[in-house]
Structure 1
């Protein structure tokens, strides 16, 4: 079997793809934090960031067909922000750090399109939040650092509120948090499965009501940032027009105390377990499995044949702040 080869398509433009999104027109938009030095490409029209000497771009669109890039204008900090595609194909990105805490950014691709930024588009500061598209076409934005609430975009009105979300308080570790970037999946009935730290609920966001509380994952180890595991909604079992089985898989992470230890130069081994739970069962229970290799910051991809591919990550330490160690260079495929 012949081996593949890598080809350099473009010279480095100095923008790391902290965030990357494939758009409906087969273009790719990428963007990175704005406070970590200049890039190798200038902002459009010779503009500069406000109150800064940085006139370089921190976002660009890659045109796959022409193998070309176009700089885009992101002026606020998208570091560890969140977002998702809207039904019309536009990308909505929310929150971030510092001057980006409450910003909503929208981007719809065309030859001359650019980011549009709304400085106070969010009711609360959102850093390390999770977004999910809803059946009505809006997105829900859940959590973030010190943000134990959720809100929606776009708003139904200028006075739309920000409901509190006690589940995020209950799963919060005051020293580490470990419930940031919660895993969120849309249940077939329109409610949300939300996993944070080591616990999960089925949530009716319209009425701010917990419909079901699932058992704590065996072992009680954290699975969310900075103990970053990964999760996927497994293929749905459909009979006729009825979905009769819904199952979630959560894999990897790092153990309790790993963040504090990593900051002291001690890098604990990552978790090598996955938990599966049929969230549609009347009495759902976790079923634990062991991966061939431990991973924190792994990526999970659901393949067209129903298999799950797990790649990347580190085998020790935690996510963020250069605290991961020993990259995992092997992939794992589960049938």
Structure 2
């Protein structure tokens, strides 16, 4: 890409951002946030959507930050203590750094939260020397709707009710089903001792991807808690669950792109590609396509060196896949958005005795507005730049029910990382939502719109998923004492839940599905009925399938939106065809939203479990029921008022790149 093209793209995005700022934000244009709970049970580092508007949540244990402690849990001196005695004494006596106040008779880090009823139930699971601590795991929804949880962390001598708990969850593979977490597999043990006396085994910060064949890939991560100068901790491999082996996993397969991008390669961004079914993955700034059928790997395009840190933990922005539609040939467009600009001196570099590394933390660096997108299955695929309106590090992205993408939370300064309570790694929360409409061309004022502002900041360890009513629920964030020394002695563990209602909530008279008549299971390429409660079938303009989400560390790999082909319109129903293959729509639970010709999704989605084994006969249709679909209602010209922005944009782009003519 030429310098001239880059300038043009930046100018277009900049003026698109200006037009977004110029709009007055109302619920009808920018949505609205509402705090719906003061106590979700845990500070949700990990979140997975379950049926019936419930969430599986888990956290990291509440304890004194490592550099504030004078002593380790076993009573030995803590060599990492920062020497601040007043701070240490305060932390030792503070109720903040005691075990979670919501714990009952058993020690755990997990709960189920019922969003509708604002209730949580703590969940017990084995926490001992053989299995346990699931913090920093990778998770994915399996074909049957259960949640696969792989990897985790180590924890020593955690005190609770007179007993010390020690656990290692790095090698565990577990399934959560109906309130029970069960160990179903185990990753290999590597008996080589690491520098803290333990072993190099398992995965911390892996990504888990449900495959088209209903198995799951467990990809990447490190073998111990972050040690970026020790290459032995890297785990540049994948395993597949289940397998006909004693530990229920295939043998590890090497992944070159993960080997090349250490140490900034954790939680690799990964998607099942809709054409080939292979796995696209991005680690740091390098991408590849993994053919898990034969162990092959094909290098993909690399992100440019643009004065932004590589896009993996701890410098990550967010990511998503654009809706897959018949119009775009169900072709994947993958986005990465936000992250950390190299705008400040990295931490420690002002100390002459500090050993400098390119991956050192930069807690004073600004968040970036830069995004890139690529079509991984295109020949000669490349990353195309575009800016969003607000710079932010560690935001979260959600595919919304109307086909837009919401970008939420994050920090204006700093990035991910650090113990709960340290609070200096990220600050200046970016609480305004941004709505991205991929159907609008670059430069259109409606492509990027700044929306409502959240009440609760979501920084490190914030999570979110789309609910079946089309709203987005947010929880977690465990460095809420981010704003300076005067706030260090406040509670970092966020227990409030907040919901974002997109603008479509404020379109009057939204339609409803006849939920009791919708099929609960379906196979691929199968025609099914989408019944409504009113005679409004002719108003349906689209039917969207959105996969149940799992969220952690700015990732939500499970989510994707697939537009279903409408075959017939009826008075109070439409006939649609489910996705043709599991490459397009990996098996699992999906939300079914009908969207009317005003862009309003139904008030409540149906849940359909999509699997090959669910194949059934096509739904019957009486041609006498067929009606003609209605056109979009007439109204104010959607493009009115935008010409002034376009004119100014044309003039400035011309000035910047030299004699450019209008390009839309």
1:269, 1:65 → 2: CA distance? 37
Aligned pairs (5 A) from 1:64-213: 64=115, 66-74=117-125, 75=127, 76-98=132-154, 99-109=168-178, 113-117=179-183, 121-123=186-188, 124-145=201-222, 146-158=234-246, 160-172=250-262, 177-188=263-274, 189-213=276-300
- Contact 1:229-1:254 at 8 Å conserved across structures: yes
Question: How far 1:32 sits from its partner (Å)?
Answer: 1.1
SS at match of 2:253: coil
Residue range with higher mean Cα deviation, 183-192 or 274-283? 274-283
Unaligned runs of 5+ in 2: 1-25, 64-97, 155-167, 189-200, 223-233, 349-359, 438-664
**Would the alpha carbon gap of residues 207 and 260 (structure 1) be closer, same or farther in structure 2, given more than 3 Å must change?**
farther
Distance 1:101 1:214, change over 3 A: same
RMSD of Structure 2 on Structure 1 (CA) = 2.7
Asked whether the 8 Å contact 1:198–1:220 carries over to 2, the reply is no
CA separation of 1:65/1:285 partners in 2, compared to 1, >3 Å: closer, same or farther? closer
Residue pairs, 1:317-332, within 5 angstroms: 317-321=414-418, 322=423, 323-332=425-434
User: Paired residue for 1:277?
Assistant: 374
Three-state SS of the structure 1 residue aligned to 2:258 is helix
Are residues 1:225 and 2:313 paired? yes
Q: Compare 25-34 and 93-102 and name the one that shifted more.
A: 25-34
Counterpart of 1:24 (choices 51, 57, 64) is: 51
Partner of 1:50: none
Q: CA deviation at 1:137?
A: 0.8
* CA positional deviation for 1:87: 1.0
Select 1:254's aligned residue among 331, 334, 340: 340
Cα distance in 2 for residues equivalent to 1:18 and 1:270: 21
Contact kept? 1:20, 1:31, Cα under 8 Å: yes
Give, in angstroms, the shift of residue 42 of structure 1.
3.5
Secondary structure of the corresponding residue to residue 175 of structure 2: strand
Quick check: 2:285–2:302 contact (8 Å CA) kept in 1? Answer: no
Q: Report the equivalent of 1:49.
A: none
TM-score, structure 1 length as denominator?
Answer: 0.84
Structure 2 CA distance for aligned equivalents of residues 5 and 268 of structure 1: 28
* Structure with larger RCO (C-alpha < 8 A, sep 6+): 2
Residue pair 2:338, 2:393 contacting (<8 A) in 1 also: yes
Q: Deviations over 1:66-88 (max 9, x none)?
A: 54322201422222111111111
Residue 306, structure 1, aligned to residue 383, structure 2: no
Aligned to 2:384, what secondary structure does the other structure show? strand
**CA distance, structure 2, for counterparts of residue 244 and residue 107 of structure 1:** 31
1:297 and 2:394 matched = yes
Q: Which protein is bigger by CA-based radius of gyration?
A: 2
Q: Give the Cα–Cα distance (whole angstroms) in 1 for the partners of residues 40 and 434 of structure 2.
A: 32
Alpha carbons of structure 1 residues 6 and 286: separation in structure 2 relative to 1, 3 Å: closer
TM-superposed CA distance for 1:315, in Å, is: 1.2
| Residues 1:235 and 2:312 aligned together | no
* Distance change in 2, residues 1:271/1:190 (3 Å): same
Number of aligned residues = 314
Cα offset for 1:13? Answer: 6.4
Deviation at 1:223, TM superposition (A): 0.7
Cα offset, 1:297, TM superposition: 0.6
Equivalent position SS for 1:225: coil
Distance between the aligned counterparts of 1:266 and 1:319, measured in 2?
Answer: 9
State the Cα distance separating 1:23 from its structure 2 match.
Answer: 0.7
CA gap of 1:276–1:6, structure 2 versus 1, over 3 A, is closer
**Structure 1: 5+ residue stretches without partners:** 47-54
Contact 2:346/2:362 (CA < 8 Å) preserved in 1?
no
Any residues of structure 2 matched to 1:5-24 within 5 Å, and which?
6=34, 9=37, 12=39, 15-24=42-51
What is the rounded CA distance, in whole Å, between the counterparts of 1:5 and 1:253 in structure 2? 24
Kindly indicate whether the alpha-carbon contact (under 8 Å) linking 1:237 and 1:246 is maintained by their aligned counterparts in 2: no
Q: What is the Cα deviation at residue 299 of structure 1?
A: 0.6
Residue of structure 2 in register with 1:58 after alignment: 109
**CA distance, structure 1, for counterparts of residue 33 and residue 266 of structure 2:** 37
The equivalent of 1:52 in structure 2 is none
Query: What secondary structure sits across from 1:309 in the alignment?
Result: strand
Q: Which residue of 1 aligns with 2:548?
A: none
Counterpart-to-counterpart distance in 1, 2:417 and 2:345: 10
Higher helix share: 2
* Residue 195 of structure 1, CA deviation: 0.7
Q: Does the 8 A contact of 1:185 with 1:192 survive in 2? A: yes
TM normalised by structure 2 equals 0.44
What's the CA shift string for 1:63-116, capped at 9, x where partnerless?
Answer: 34554322201422222111111111111111111111111222112xxx3222
